[in-house]
Structure 1
Amino acid sequence: MAEAETPENGHHIVIVSGPAGSGRSTAIRALEDLGFEAIDNLPLSFLPRLFASPVPRPVVVGIDPRNREFALDRLSCAMSEIEQSVGQAPVLVYLDCDAQTLVQRYSETRRRHPLSPHESPLVGIEREIALLAPLREQADVLIDTRTMTPHELKAELSLQFGDDEARSGLAITLQSFSYKRGLPRGADMVIDVRFLKNPHWMPSLRPLDGRNARVSAFVEADPDYAGFYARLEDLLSFLLPAYRAEGKSYFCVGIGCTGGQHRSVSVVEALAKSLAAKGWQVSIRHRELERTTGDVAPVPGMGVA
């Protein structure tokens, strides 16, 4: 059999596992952004067949106990078959997280745990951690996500599996938020734009958000906007190269206003376009818009965190 093309870093096949809520979906999406073909929760009987013929690019497969065929011995056999077929052992990435943190995450999302749909999340979490304990011991890469934000997890995976350009870059996230709901977790810098005139008090603009051209025009017409925005760009132009030179792989800037709908969103959108035009890797997130509509449109050419 012809050997499939292998990335320069040697990681050809990655299997991601860990308890529900530990960040498995985030990890799979992060690897997909790095050029991996992503497959989540594939039945274990199909896993060896996936690699029966040459694979043109690296693959990440998510495996967890929701799978009706899940069994540790079956997974071990499948990984052995893959190694024999491809000539390279899969890299097992295990996302570790303590029960208390997982309970907190489930309380925030109000989801039922897949292993305890009619009981408390804690019951399912403890069952899953015990079930996956042997897999954790076998992991090639063990990542403790208990204090990690999604952006930090993405940055860690980029360091582990990205190419030289990804490892040497600085991923920037710009996040709009409402001060009424508290500061965003994991923000490296927070900017308050509540001094700008608020479109909320304009009846025609209130139903819109900061991505709308009319709202942006209103915000930018504030006499204080131009001076503030120029100074903010200058500050980031100075800081970002310095952080990159220091080896920092991610940087999150929170832009906050009263409701997180108009001024902060408008500033994030403008700043994201400006930084992307200068060659920075930028993602945007509008926290309050996600809460209300789940609809966050990315800036062209950029991802959404």
Structure 2
Amino acid sequence: MQFVIVTGLSGAGKTQTIRCLEDIGYFCVDNLPPALIPKFAEICYQTAGRVDKIAIVIDIRGGKFFDDLFQSLKTLNNMGYDYQILFLEASDEVIVKRFKESRRNHPLASGGDIMKAIQDERDRLSEVKSKADHIVDTSNLTTRQLREELQRIFVIGEKFESLVITIMSFGFKYGIPLDADLVFDVRFLPNPYYVEGLKKHSGNEYNVKEYVLKWPEATEFINKVNDLLEFLIPNYIKEGKSRLVIGIGCTGGRHRSVVIANAIYESLKKNEHTVLINHRDIVQDVVEDVK
């Protein structure tokens, strides 16, 4: 039986997670009082396989009942029941934005101070986070990407890392991504923008890709960045980092940065890292030309 305890920060995507798990065959229960977990698990295990995928959401909405969680986990261990903990988190900025968009109040923001409520919740959840089998940062994930991550963990069986890597191409003239942890500048490469027939195309197209990658320094740069990342990634995971945003920038974010970002993305994906791709400014120059 697959028994999953879903928890994490308010606004980090637990509702979407439950919907995704239901879609892949899980029987889901939201906001179950933690003290009832052992009895619920016992009932599920007695179904003789008729209910073999269970997911329950436990979070601070339970108020004082949330403190029963650790005793219930200890009881599950003593009963010999296997379970996994999935912890969802997101950056403070993203959580604030999501609560503003939903017009809902944070469960701990009784005085209206949402930033304090988020920090209080992080403190309160720190122990259960340390026990989590899987940590997913949803800050930069769409619903589709979240679904893919859950399928990777619970269905496909591919290697899963707690570190989610986002490769983001961008244009320096539109600003460096505020959430970038690492930034690489590829403006040293010849610019397809000034090549006849390539200006209006993007780095996702073969002719631009072929032009950028024909330069020996482009291949050498990609290899050196990949070597650096393969050194850094396991150390970031060891340190407990859950999200890594790598910015690849050129002038406009449409040609060189897109090609290089795609190449690095494919390399990391080939090495079975959990990686996403985002071309932030790929349409900006087109919009400006139209204007």
Deviations 1:46-98 (A, max 9, x none): x95994744546x5544568xxxx65478789996x959x864967777689x
The 3-state SS of whatever aligns with 1:185 is: coil
Once the 2 structures are TM-superposed, how far is the Cα of residue 231 of structure 1 from its aligned partner?
1.6
User: Percent identity over the alignment?
Assistant: 19
Deviations 1:82-130 (A, max 9, x none): 959x864967777689xxx7367535996244228xxx9x938379669
Is residue 264 from structure 1 mapped to residue 253 from structure 2 by the alignment? Answer: no
Equivalent residue pairs, number: 243
User: Residues 186 and 250 of structure 2 are in contact (CA less than 8 Å); yes or no, is this contact kept in structure 1?
Assistant: yes
Distance change >3 Å, CA 181–CA 103, structure 1 → 2: same
* Equivalent in the alignment of 1:136: 124
Once the 2 structures are TM-superposed, how far is the Cα of residue 229 of structure 1 from its aligned partner?
2.0
User: Residues 89 and 138 of structure 2 are in contact (CA less than 8 Å); yes or no, is this contact kept in structure 1?
Assistant: no
* Equivalent in the alignment of 1:194: 187
* Equivalent in the alignment of 1:299: none
User: Residues 202 and 254 of structure 2 are in contact (CA less than 8 Å); yes or no, is this contact kept in structure 1?
Assistant: yes
| Pick aligned residue for 2:179 from 185, 199, 208 | 185
The 3-state SS of whatever aligns with 1:140 is: helix
| Pick aligned residue for 2:114 from 113, 125, 146 | 125
Alignment of 1:272-283 (within 5 A): 272-277=265-270, 279-281=271-273, 283=275
Deviations 1:270-304 (A, max 9, x none): 33334545x35262322415998xxxxxxxxxxxx
Which whole-Å CA distance do the structure 2 matches of 1:24 and 1:150 have between them? 9
Deviations 1:7-52 (A, max 9, x none): xxxxx422213222xx3459959x98xxx9778884659x959947
Distance change >3 Å, CA 26–CA 235, structure 1 → 2: farther
Which blocks of at least 5 consecutive residues in structure 2 are unaligned? 132-136, 141-145, 147-152, 285-291
AA aligned to 1:213 is Y
* Equivalent in the alignment of 1:232: 221
Distance change >3 Å, CA 237–CA 90, structure 1 → 2: closer
TM-score of the pair, normalised by structure 2? 0.53
Is residue 14 from structure 1 mapped to residue 5 from structure 2 by the alignment? Answer: yes
| Structure with a larger share of its residues in helix | 2
Deviations 1:214-252 (A, max 9, x none): 3323434xxxx5222222233245434544675756765
Which whole-Å CA distance do the structure 1 matches of 2:231 and 2:65 have between them? 48
User: Residues 37 and 60 of structure 1 are in contact (CA less than 8 Å); yes or no, is this contact kept in structure 2?
Assistant: no
* Equivalent in the alignment of 2:212: 219
* Equivalent in the alignment of 1:285: 277
Distance change >3 Å, CA 93–CA 56, structure 1 → 2: closer
TM-score of the pair, normalised by structure 1? 0.51
* Equivalent in the alignment of 2:143: none
Alignment of 1:86-101 (within 5 A): 88=81
Which whole-Å CA distance do the structure 2 matches of 1:107 and 1:73 have between them? 27
Indicate the RMSD between aligned Cα atoms, in angstroms: 5.8
User: Residues 15 and 61 of structure 1 are in contact (CA less than 8 Å); yes or no, is this contact kept in structure 2?
Assistant: yes
* Equivalent in the alignment of 1:102: 92
Distance change >3 Å, CA 201–CA 217, structure 1 → 2: same
Which whole-Å CA distance do the structure 1 matches of 2:265 and 2:126 have between them? 41
Which whole-Å CA distance do the structure 2 matches of 1:230 and 1:14 have between them? 44
Distance change >3 Å, CA 236–CA 94, structure 1 → 2: closer
User: Residues 176 and 287 of structure 1 are in contact (CA less than 8 Å); yes or no, is this contact kept in structure 2?
Assistant: yes
Distance change >3 Å, CA 290–CA 28, structure 1 → 2: farther
* Equivalent in the alignment of 2:247: 254
The 3-state SS of whatever aligns with 1:219 is: helix
Distance change >3 Å, CA 74–CA 282, structure 1 → 2: closer
